[in-house]
Amino acid sequence: MIRGIQKTLYLILAFFIGLFIASSFFIRAKYNYFVYGDTPILERQQLGLFILVIAVVLALSVILYKMCLKLNKYSWKIVIPATLLFSFAIQMVIIFLFPRLPTDDSQTVLSLALDMLYRNDYSSFDTNGYLHMFPFNFSIVLYLKTLLLIFPDNYLVIKIFNILFTLLTSLMIYMLYKELNYKSKDKDYGILVFAATYIPSLFMSNFIYNDVIATAFLTSALYFAIRFIKRRSIKDVLFAALLLAIGNYFRSIGVIFLITVVAGLLFNIRSIGVKKVFSALVITAILFNVPGWTQNAVLQATNVVDEPMNENSAPVYMWLNMGINLETFGFWDNRESYAIYQQDANYNKAESTELFKEEISNKLSEAGLSDLVKMYYKKIVWTWTEGTYQMERYGLGNDGSSSNGGRMGFVMDRYSYTNAATDLFKADSNYRSGMLWLLYVLNFLMYVFILVRLMGGIRAKRFEETSLILVVLGFIGFYLLWEIKSRYIYPVYPLLIVLSYMGFKDVYDYMLKRYFPR
């Protein structure tokens, strides 16, 4: 029965990956803030250019893989520190070459942290305040406040810590891969190099928000959960539960990882033992909400808030309502949903919930079935094939003083200073467009190799990657309903790297044995 469930999960993900691959030959998902504003774009694929870039990226991938194979003769004590140090150096260069200033929510949470640190101002928890509406963002505010209290008050400190979390994620990708692919005779440093030089993650260290931090903790939690299933040490499940709780504290999508951990334990209950599975479930359940409960208790005890933080916050129905939009297929709805909560319901959670339910019902009844199918198709294809996690805006940034065809009104990004690098990538330059093409095609090829790995697993009845697949499916299902940004699926990039590298290695080894047996 369990094998049947695992095979079904593999088949479901294979269907979605196949959909992404097939759609990419006809539709190009784009996000370019300078050109289009904060809007998802689906346009007709430039098939000739698409195939050309595929050939180039594929050739480079093979060359780099063969170069990484030469590292097998060196000890991990040399290769791992050297690779992570190299990644650190690249990211330091990036944050100096592209000194992006915070904007939008990034600027808001940083301003709130400074207000609390220097003026002891917690008024944002009051009605009409940012944290009254979005209390889940207090975690990143508290984190920034703590950093700025201990270290010098500047952007560089925050970005350096982002880099450290990115390095942790890269290391966890390698360790997760080795845990799953333990039969490999190679040291497989290639996946470490891939993770440490993955362009979206390098640039997202420039983004002052919770994405990078949550990704590091959640990836680490999944690693220790899988390690527990194989080694059955309570120490591992304690680490997994603690890291999962912290990751969820920064981004509430940790519940998807929680479901995966629980499912993984239940799938392996016979090999682990009922008592140990029960203990692991209890530990995970108890620790999961501890950060949120502690935060709420402290804020009420110190009279910062006089009711539970979530009592009148924006309801989940607000994001579900945003997720149903025929024009932008679930992307930002230009504050329409905000207005329902803020103005129509006067920041009242219960009242706004009923209004959102009514609005959702009206949208579904007014839209035809074909319209809804098209919307959800566009929604899922854009989210998963855009390929850059909106790095162009959140990591690379743009010089707000540049102008291109009257698009100035869209540009809110700024740099601390400009230089030759910012000039090369300003506006919609060929360098910026080229990078977006590179990342788009790289993402496409990752899906191709993931599909290879999935189909190979089904044929060989090998289902060791079920936990990774469950997380990816969880994100697919969640963001099919929720408001979308391709940045929101950033926490799954480590799992996509692991699966795609496995598929690439399978293809490389097969081709080597068949055509170059010597």
List, for residues 136-179, the tens digit of each pLDDT value.
999 999 999 999 999 988 899 999 999 999 999 999 999 999 99
- What pLDDT shows up at residue 307? 85
- What pLDDT shows up at residue 476? 98
- The answer, yes or no, to whether residue 64 has pLDDT greater than 50, is yes
Report which of 487, 435, 454, 29 is spatially closest to residue 215, judged by C-alpha positions.
487
- What pLDDT shows up at residue 147? 96
pLDDT band at 408 (very low <50, low <70, confident <90, very high): very low
pLDDT band at 279 (very low <50, low <70, confident <90, very high): very high
Please, what's the largest Cα pairwise distance for the chain?
74
pLDDT band at 405 (very low <50, low <70, confident <90, very high): very low
- What pLDDT shows up at residue 71? 93
- What pLDDT shows up at residue 280? 95
pLDDT band at 406 (very low <50, low <70, confident <90, very high): very low
- What pLDDT shows up at residue 511? 85
- What pLDDT shows up at residue 400? 64
- What pLDDT shows up at residue 449? 98
- Taking the C-alpha atoms of residue 455 and residue 13, their distance in angstroms, rounded to an integer, is 10
Give φ, ψ of 138 to 5 degrees: -65, -25
Q: 231: left (phi > 0), else alpha (psi -120 to 50), else beta?
A: alpha
pLDDT band at 182 (very low <50, low <70, confident <90, very high): confident
- What pLDDT shows up at residue 412? 58
Buried b (16+ CB within 10 A) or exposed e, 276-297: bbeebbebbeebbeebbeebbe
- pTM of the entire structure? 0.96
pLDDT band at 368 (very low <50, low <70, confident <90, very high): confident
Q: What average pLDDT does range 241-266 have in this prediction?
A: 96
Contact 163, 91 (CB under 8 A): yes
- What pLDDT shows up at residue 436? 96
- Taking the C-alpha atoms of residue 88 and residue 164, their distance in angstroms, rounded to an integer, is 8
Contact 310, 289 (CB under 8 A): no
- Taking the C-alpha atoms of residue 12 and residue 192, their distance in angstroms, rounded to an integer, is 28
**CA distances in angstroms from 461 to 11, 216, 503, listed in the order given:** 12, 31, 15
Contact 174, 80 (CB under 8 A): yes
Adjacent-strand bridge partners of 29? 42
- What pLDDT shows up at residue 409? 44
Return the percentage of the chain with pLDDT > 90, whole number: 86
- Taking the C-alpha atoms of residue 131 and residue 353, their distance in angstroms, rounded to an integer, is 18
- Taking the C-alpha atoms of residue 227 and residue 511, their distance in angstroms, rounded to an integer, is 32
> At CA 51, angle to CA 477 and CA 431, rounded to 5?
85
Alpha helices in 367-464 (DSSP H): 369-385, 391, 420-424, 430-460
- What pLDDT shows up at residue 517? 66
User: Average pLDDT of the chain?
Assistant: 93
- What pLDDT shows up at residue 518? 60
- What pLDDT shows up at residue 403? 45
